[in-house]
Amino acid sequence: MEFKAQSIADFLGGTVEGDANVSVSDVAKIEEGRPGTLAFLANPKYNKYLYESEASIVIVNLDLVLEAEVKATLIRVPDAYKAFASLLELYQQAKGQKTGIENPSFIDSTVTHGKDIYIGAFAYIGKNVKIGNHVRIYPHVYIGDNATIGDDCTLYSGAKIYEDTKIGNACIIHAGAVVGSDGFGFAPIEDGSYKKIPQVGNVILEDFVEIGANSTIDCATMGSTIIRKGTKIDNLVQIAHNVEIGENTVMAALTGIAGSTKIGKNCRFGGHVGVAGHITIGDNVNLGAMTGVANSVKSDKTMLLQPAMEFAQAAKVAAVYRNLPQLRQQVIDLSRQVAEIKTKLEDK
């Protein structure tokens, strides 16, 4: 399917700069652009590629100032990144969606589902599961008893949804993710062994939640582990039992949240963040990559390092850390000078 520059600009509410009739049938990164493809430029780090790219159309920000002539037709929009995301969504929809129920698959007779669904081969859907409209369940997905899947959800191959899990509308669960597995609960016994504590709660994902590949969200010991509306969780993230995460929070890969921690809305966690259990993280908190949080954090804070500290203090610590080799040598030199002075004083 081909799209002309003018049609794309009309869809995005942008303006064309160049040949309005040039067509594209594929997308590409700006540095890998080739004739017939559409690319975008939002990060100034990639500006140089605009003048080298062979892409036929490039979406750019309104305020971009050209430093040289470009081959591509430009479409100027207020926010190139958001505009390109909208186009990718349209492009994906144009490719079509699978429908129907493939065999072999197991669907219990008590399952209810809406219209226009797709269930891939080797999927297992247990008793009393409720599935909404326009749901896509890819091969080898497991859905346990009494689970609920809302409208417009997509569960990719190998996703595991344990019993009693509640998933809202327009959620995406990527391949290998596990939602509702047991929390890590064990009681120490006098002989040094551990007795497993039954985990009888569930997981609730509200609307527009996305869970990355191979991430795990544990069910609550009692009650619910809750991921609020609009939260986006990257690949390889661990969310422990009874955690609550507020609306529109995002977490990058390898983040781990220990049990019973409460996280506010609109937070942003970098990769490899670790958060201890039974603490509270306020709203609008930013945690830099590899930050270790052992105590509660108030709203509107930016924290870095291990143990976590506010940005200004972390910057001072980082400056000292970078200078450690020089500081070490200074200490060695001063120690030598002190020793020499001491020797001279003793000789007198």
Do 337 and 229 fall into the same domain? Answer: no
Do 71 and 119 fall into the same domain?
no
Q: Is the pLDDT of residue 345 over 90?
A: no
Single residue among 94, 125, 149 that ends a domain in this structure: 94
pLDDT of the residue at 118: 97
Active site residue 241: yes
Per-residue pLDDT of 117-160, as tens digits, reads 999 999 999 999 999 999 999 999 999 999 999 999 999 999 99
Predicted TM-score (pTM) of the model is: 0.87
Domain boundary (41, 60, 94) is at 94
Which candidate in 134, 140, 174, 241 is catalytic?
241
Instruction: Name the domain boundary from 94, 113, 141.
Output: 94
pLDDT of residue 189: 96
Q: State whether 224 and 324 are in the same domain.
A: no
Average pLDDT of every residue of the chain: 95
pLDDT of residue 168: 98
184 and 199 both lie in a single domain: yes
Does 221 lie in the same domain as 170? Answer: yes
The CATH number that applies at residue 198 is 2.160.10.10
Q: How far, in Å, are 122, 237, 286, 325 from residue 272 at the CA level?
A: 34, 9, 13, 27
Q: How confident is the model at residue 95 (pLDDT cuts 50, 70, 90)?
A: confident
Question: Are residues 297 and 206 located together in one domain of the fold?
Answer: yes
Q: Is the pLDDT of residue 23 over 80?
A: yes
Q: Are residues 242 and 161 in the same domain?
A: yes
**Interval 291-324: pLDDT, tens:** 999 999 999 999 999 999 999 999 999 889 899 9
Number of domains in the chain: 3
- Please give the structure tokens belonging to residue 114: 């809406």
Per-residue pLDDT tens over the stretch 156-207: 999 999 999 999 999 999 999 999 999 999 999 999 999 999 999 999 999 9
Residues 81 and 136 occupy one common structural domain: no
Within this chain, do residues 156 and 64 fall inside the same structural domain, yes or no? no
Instruction: Kindly list the distances between the CA atom of residue 174 and the CA atoms of 138, 141, 159, 242, 303, in Å, as whole numbers in the listed order.
Output: 10, 10, 7, 22, 29
Could you tell me the residue range of the domain that residue 120 belongs to?
A: 100-311
**How crowded is residue 335: how many other Cβ atoms within 10 Å of its Cβ?**
10
Are residues 75 and 16 in contact, defined by beta-carbon separation less than 8 angstroms? Answer: yes
Q: Report residue 91's pLDDT band, with 50, 70 and 90 as the boundaries.
A: confident
- What's 18's domain CATH number? 3.40.1390.10
**Same-domain check for residues 185 and 288:** yes
- Do 266 and 320 belong together in one domain? no
pLDDT of 92 reads: 77
**Contact of 262 with 281, CB cutoff 8 Å:** yes
Query: DSSP letters along 214-250, please?
Result: T-EEEPPSSSEEEE-TT-EE-TT-EE-TT-EE-TT-E
**Helix, strand or coil, per DSSP, at residue 74:** strand
Instruction: Tell me, yes or no, whether 122 and 205 share the same domain.
Output: yes
